[in-house]
């Protein structure tokens, strides 16, 4: 067995004819990226088979991304992540074909070929809300991205016929 074009190393078999090896046995394989394992068999008489190869990719890096408040949901100064809306749209960007999970309600979507994704109708409470999205790639690596969105409290409206008292305090 050979890893990434390195020298062939012997591999033992069990009673059922199965074998298993680690990349450390083959002298390498650390890091992420494409890999190729080549195998050949040699019988007791010294006859050598043709080389069979398998290619695969090692991926241990979690996806990165970013979140933003959709401009149509940003009712404050554009880009200040402040809104008066009770529900908003959160936009995200990551790698293509990444599963994005909105942690508040477990909704999932998959990023488009350009890495973009979004969640609409994300509910907000009055005050600062932390929105978290888990990004998971095909290899199962994941990361959590977050954004804080402030929802302005609903205004208090008093009508002329309401029975209310105004109390004001002034320093003496």
Q: Which two tokens mark 112?
A: 């488009």
Q: What is the pLDDT of residues 128-161, one digit of tens each?
A: 999 999 999 999 999 999 999 999 987 777 777 7
Region 2-14 average pLDDT: 82
How far apart are the C-alpha atoms of 52 and 63, rounded to whole Å?
A: 33
Asked if the model's pLDDT at residue 21 lies above 60, the reply is yes
**Chain segment 27-74, per-residue pLDDT in tens:** 455 667 888 888 898 888 999 999 999 888 888 899 999 999 999 999
Per-residue pLDDT band at 3 (split at 50, 70, 90) = confident
CA 102 to chain centre: 10
Residue-wise DSSP of 110-148: E--TTSEEEEEEEE--SEEEEEEEEEE-TTS-EEEEEEE
Distance CA(148)–CA(128), nearest Å, equals 6
Q: What is the mean pLDDT of residues 77-94?
A: 96
pLDDT for the residue numbered 156: 73
Top pLDDT among 4 and 162 is at: 4
Model confidence at 167, pLDDT cuts 50, 70, 90, reads low
φ/ψ of 91, rounded to 5, equals -100, 150
- Residue 4: the pLDDT is 80
pLDDT of residue 10: 84
- Is the pTM higher than 0.75? no
pLDDT for residue 27: 47
Predicted local confidence at residue 80, as pLDDT: 95
């Amino acid at each position: 067995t050979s890893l990434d074009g390195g020298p062939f190393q012997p591999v033992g078999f069990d009673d059922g004819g199965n074998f298993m090896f680690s990349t450390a046995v083959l002298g390498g394989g650390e890091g992420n990226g494409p890999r190729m394992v080549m195998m050949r068999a040699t019988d007791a008489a010294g006859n050598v088979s043709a080389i069979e190869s398998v290619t695969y990719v090692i991926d241990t890096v979690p996806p990165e991304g970013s979140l933003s408040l959709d401009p149509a949901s940003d009712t404050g100064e554009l880009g200040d992540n402040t809104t008066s809306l009770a529900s908003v749209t959160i936009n995200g960007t990551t790698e293509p074909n990444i599963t994005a999970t909105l942690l508040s309600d477990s909704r999932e979507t998959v990023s488009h070929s350009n890495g973009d994704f979004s969640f609409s109708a994300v509910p907000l409470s009055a005050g600062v809300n932390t929105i978290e999205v888990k990004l998971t790639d095909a290899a199962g690596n994941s990361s959590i991205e977050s954004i804080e969105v402030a929802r302005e409290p609903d205004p208090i409206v008093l009508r002329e016929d309401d029975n209310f008292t105004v109390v004001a305090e002034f320093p003496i």
